Amino acid sequence: MVEISLLSPERYTLDELITDELSLEKIVTVETDGYLSVECFCVQEQKNVTIFFSFVFNGKSELPQLYDRNGLTIYDLSGVKSEVISFDELENQYIDWLSRSGHENTMDEYGMLLDVVGFIERNRHRENLLAVVRGTSKA
């Protein structure tokens, strides 16, 4: 299982992100609408990390890495957040996601994708969008 945490911190240091226990209280904020500046989810296999990013960012799979060691990879998604799939595209391409990822068609699966797209949309105005990926050394 590979854990992915999407973060939209106002500011951060790489040291804060590469600790064994991510110091969320240092980089996560509560927005005025009550949402947190983090979204966490899992994908089943390492290969699905690349498939996931390619799907969510409309084919963009070459993403800048800030860090990649010891089963921890940190991506800077700030430059691709405007490429995020729309809710309509998600609905129309969801079956393609299931086929590419090998995941089953469940409410949890679709809900996870809705949450991720919603998180990115809510945080487009923020300077930073990062992905902290644990459980793999390369995506």
Per-residue pLDDT tens over the stretch 58-82: 988 789 999 999 889 999 999 999 9
CB-CB neighbours of 137 under 10 Å: 12
Contact predicate 26/38, CB 8 Å: no
Give residue 65's identity as a one-letter amino acid code. Answer: Q
pLDDT at 137: 45
Q: Which of 104, 125, 132 is nearest to 3 (CA)?
A: 132
| Entry pTM | 0.85
The per-residue pLDDT of the chain, averaged, comes to 86
Q: Return the minimum-mean-pLDDT range out of 45-49, 55-59, 97-101.
A: 45-49
Residue 70: how many other CB atoms lie within 10 Å: 10
Phi, psi of 113 (to 5 degrees): -65, -40
